[in-house]
Amino acid sequence: MITFLKKAFGKTGEVIHEVAPTRRSSIAKEDFEEILLEADVQYDLVERLIDGLPDTIRRTQAFNSLISVFQYQAQWIEPGATQPFVEMIVGVNGAGKTTTIAKLARLYQREGRTVLLGAGDTFRAAAIEQLSRWAERLVIPIVATRQGHDPSAVVYDAIASAVAKGIDHVIVDTAGRLHTEKNLSDELKKMVRTADKALPGAPDRTLLILDGTQGGSAINQAKAFDAMIGIDGIIITKLDGTAKGGAILTIADELQMPIYYMGMGETPDDFIRFKANDYVNTILDEVFV
């Protein structure tokens, strides 16, 4: 866990060290403010976080300030008695959606559970091919069709197949971009309705993939998808490719949604559950002894 986080936030650590080259037992308030801004924490949030802190800040004080961002009421949905547990994965193209689906499937495999994939992004032939390659590599079943076919039919068939085979998890990919946002919204809403027809109450969880390299700008994406179909939580990707690790604070503060997982790299094991305490401590490890 710690090794993963240090690697994921390596570039964020580099910008922190530009402000505070050496770790210390305390830091000046203005330096702590600059560190947060350089790590892409939104300005208004930075001002709130440092408000009330002393001129010289110790680690415990910094920790209590940052962890307060995550102390909001949110409905966490974890796989329970429902079988199969159906998840829809949404996000814009380029956010790492298909690779993240493979990582999530691999996580479930490591936990001893069975998985089936649904290639619901029928807008891009490459998405179907990529997900099919992952299914082959992980040795898990997939329901797929050809480009241009009805994605809702994929949803129905994937759930029906999982029910028949006693599969624990269904993970459904979705299109990241259509010709207009209305088309995307209508398609996603239809997929949700179809999932409920195939298995009442499905999907059990809808997760949004956010590209960590986009920092706080990903918030508008989240709000748009939430308005379309409702988002239950977030997965943040590509963290190792950005110095904007502090944007997670902004994302949590703005969206007040659960952050379930973090991912980086291309291997299926580069994926962990998000824990706010570990995240905050990893950032502060670059500042304090």
Any residues with CB less than 8 A from the CB of 178 and at least 6 apart, and which? 123, 184, 187
Q: Are residues 242 and 112 in the same domain?
A: yes
**Residues 251, 215: contact at Cβ < 8 Å?**
no
Q: Tell me: pLDDT of 1 over 70.
A: no
Q: Are residues 127 and 245 in the same domain?
A: yes
Q: Are residues 232 and 268 in the same domain?
A: yes
Any residues with CB less than 8 A from the CB of 183 and at least 6 apart, and which? none
| Mean pLDDT across the chain | 92
Please tell me the distance from the alpha carbon of residue 30 to that of residue 127, in angstroms, as a whole number.
46
* Res 178: pLDDT: 53
Read off φ and ψ for residue 252, nearest 5 degrees. Answer: -65, -45
Please tell me the distance from the alpha carbon of residue 39 to that of residue 204, in angstroms, as a whole number.
34
**Residues 11, 241: contact at Cβ < 8 Å?**
yes
What average pLDDT does the segment 41-47 reach? 95
Instruction: Report yes or no on 77 lying in a domain.
Output: no
pLDDT tens for 235-257 read 999 877 777 888 899 999 999 99
Instruction: Report yes or no on 175 lying in a domain.
Output: yes
168 pLDDT tier (thresholds 50, 70, 90): very high
Instruction: Report yes or no on 283 lying in a domain.
Output: no
Instruction: Report yes or no on 163 lying in a domain.
Output: yes
Instruction: Report yes or no on 228 lying in a domain.
Output: yes
Please tell me the distance from the alpha carbon of residue 177 to that of residue 52, in angstroms, as a whole number.
44
Closest C-alpha among 105, 190, 115 to residue 156: 190
Q: Among 25, 41, 72, identify where a domain stops.
A: 72
Q: Are residues 134 and 201 in the same domain?
A: yes
Q: Tell me: pLDDT of 5 over 90.
A: no
Q: Among 72, 96, 111, identify where a domain stops.
A: 72
Instruction: Report yes or no on 280 lying in a domain.
Output: no
Read off φ and ψ for residue 96, nearest 5 degrees. Answer: 95, 30
Structure token digits, residue 122: 């029928």
Three-class SS state of 82:
coil
Of 284 and 3, the structure prediction assigns the larger pLDDT to: 284
Q: Among 72, 104, 129, identify where a domain stops.
A: 72
Q: Are residues 33 and 141 in the same domain?
A: no
Instruction: Report yes or no on 285 lying in a domain.
Output: no
Any residues with CB less than 8 A from the CB of 6 and at least 6 apart, and which? 13, 282, 285
180 pLDDT tier (thresholds 50, 70, 90): low
Domain count, the chain: 2
pLDDT tens for 56-90 read 999 999 999 999 999 999 999 999 878 899 999 99
* Res 9: pLDDT: 82
Residue 78: left (phi > 0), alpha (psi -120 to 50), or beta? beta
Structure token digits, residue 273: 């559950």
Q: Are residues 140 and 270 in the same domain?
A: yes
Count of CB atoms within 10 A of residue 29's CB?
Answer: 14
Q: Are residues 47 and 100 in the same domain?
A: no
pTM for this model (two decimals): 0.93
Please tell me the distance from the alpha carbon of residue 1 to that of residue 237, in angstroms, as a whole number.
16
**Length, in residues, of the chain:** 289
CA distances from 39 to 34, 83, 216, 254, 275 (A): 9, 41, 11, 16, 19
pLDDT tens for 140-164 read 999 999 998 999 999 999 999 999 9
Q: Are residues 92 and 186 in the same domain?
A: yes
Q: Are residues 10 and 97 in the same domain?
A: no
Please name the residue that has the structure tokens 């997760």.
207
Range of the structural domain that residue 8 is part of: 2-72
Q: Are residues 146 and 225 in the same domain?
A: yes
Q: Of all residues in the chain, what percent carry a pLDDT higher than 90?
A: 72
Please tell me the distance from the alpha carbon of residue 57 to that of residue 32, in angstroms, as a whole number.
8
Q: Are residues 131 and 102 in the same domain?
A: yes
Structure token digits, residue 74: 């949110």
* Res 182: pLDDT: 83
Q: 237 forms bridges with which residues in the sheet?
A: 211
Q: Tell me: pLDDT of 117 over 70.
A: yes
CA distances from 110 to 62, 107, 115, 141, 249 (A): 35, 5, 11, 16, 29
Instruction: Report yes or no on 279 lying in a domain.
Output: no
Cα dihedral 59, 64, 68, 73 sign: positive
2 pLDDT tier (thresholds 50, 70, 90): low
Structure token digits, residue 11: 């570039």
Q: Give me the CATH number covering residue 165.
A: 3.40.50.300
Q: Tell me: pLDDT of 3 over 80.
A: no
Q: Are residues 131 and 190 in the same domain?
A: yes
Please tell me the distance from the alpha carbon of residue 235 to that of residue 210, in angstroms, as a whole number.
6
* Res 166: pLDDT: 96
